[in-house]
Chains A and B, each alone.
Chain A
Amino acid sequence: QSALTQPASVSGSPGQSITISCTGTSSDIGGYNSVFWYQQHPGKAPKLMIYEVKNRPSGVSNRFSGSKSGNTASLTISGLQADDEADYYCSSYTTSRTLVFGGGTKLTVL
């Protein structure tokens, strides 16, 4: 199972919005709504930010939103803040009853 495709890096200024894409196939993202997004700060464990494509867990800011179109999922962060600077990973269930992560995107807040 190949990793989902994410841009290696994105950047934005405080207050701006950015979008991170996550591209898979019809065997993963395109076939299921089991798409999740995680934030990971250096040296820390990942944190769930979005579950099942577009839902926010309790305690996650509404500045974070998710969507999906075809084989591509997206995470949008609005009103960028310094603490948003982190690595972001998407994941999806696959037809093989496994899970695949994206390669990760490093977000830099300028």
Chain B
Amino acid sequence: QVQLVESGGGVVQAGTSLSLSCVASGFTFSTYSMHWVRQAPGKGLEWVAVISYDGGKKYYADSVRGRFTISRDNSKNTMYLQVNSLRADDTAVYYCAKEWGSQGLYYGMDVWGQGTTVTVSS
């Protein structure tokens, strides 16, 4: 079945870095764009970034642009999020999600992982 599994979260100090991973299975990863979405404790969903199916296009939310970097390795069916200069307001569950349509950017997600938790302590 289609599955996304995130990892890499943890408790870190403000100002430090972390690398999140999302391993995909059950679909042709290389033909789907992928997103990162986060959710702070008790808050709503916040879109973080998207990467096109071929890795050629990357777009970020204003709140993370310049600090976060999205990437993917289609040979490993894996997407990454490098998060630098972490701040307390980056504390959240980070979800990876698959685009609903193939070979394009449609900005809608039909499959979500269970999330990985990042806690930034100051």
Q: Which A residues form the contact surface with B (CB < 8 A)? A: 1, 3, 34, 36, 38, 40, 45-48, 51-52, 57, 87, 89, 91-93, 97-104
User: In terms of DSSP, what is the predominant structure of the interface of chain B?
Assistant: strand
B44–A3 CB distance below 8 A: yes
Q: Which chain A residue lies CB-closest to B65?
A: A98
Given A52-B108, A98-B59, 9 further pairs, Cβ under 8 A: A34-B106, A36-B108, A45-B112, A45-B114, A48-B108, A48-B109, A89-B45, A101-B37, A101-B46
Q: Which B residues form the contact surface with A (CB < 8 A)? A: 35, 37, 44-47, 50, 59-62, 95, 97, 100, 105-110, 112-115
A97 to B60, CA, bound (A): 9
The one of A36, A47, A92 in contact with B112, judged by C-beta atoms closer than 8 angstroms, is A47
A104 to B35, CA, bound (A): 19
B61–A98 CB distance below 8 A: yes
A99–B100 CB distance below 8 A: no
Residues of chain B lying within 8 A (CB to CB) of residue A52: 106, 108
Residues of chain B lying within 8 A (CB to CB) of residue A45: 95, 112-115
A48–B110 CB distance below 8 A: yes
B95–A99 CB distance below 8 A: no
A87 to B46, CA, bound (A): 14
Residues of chain B lying within 8 A (CB to CB) of residue A36: 100, 107-109
Q: Assuming A45-B95, A45-B115, A57-B100, is B107 touching A101 (CB within 8 A)?
A: no
A48–B44 CB distance below 8 A: no
A101–B60 CB distance below 8 A: no
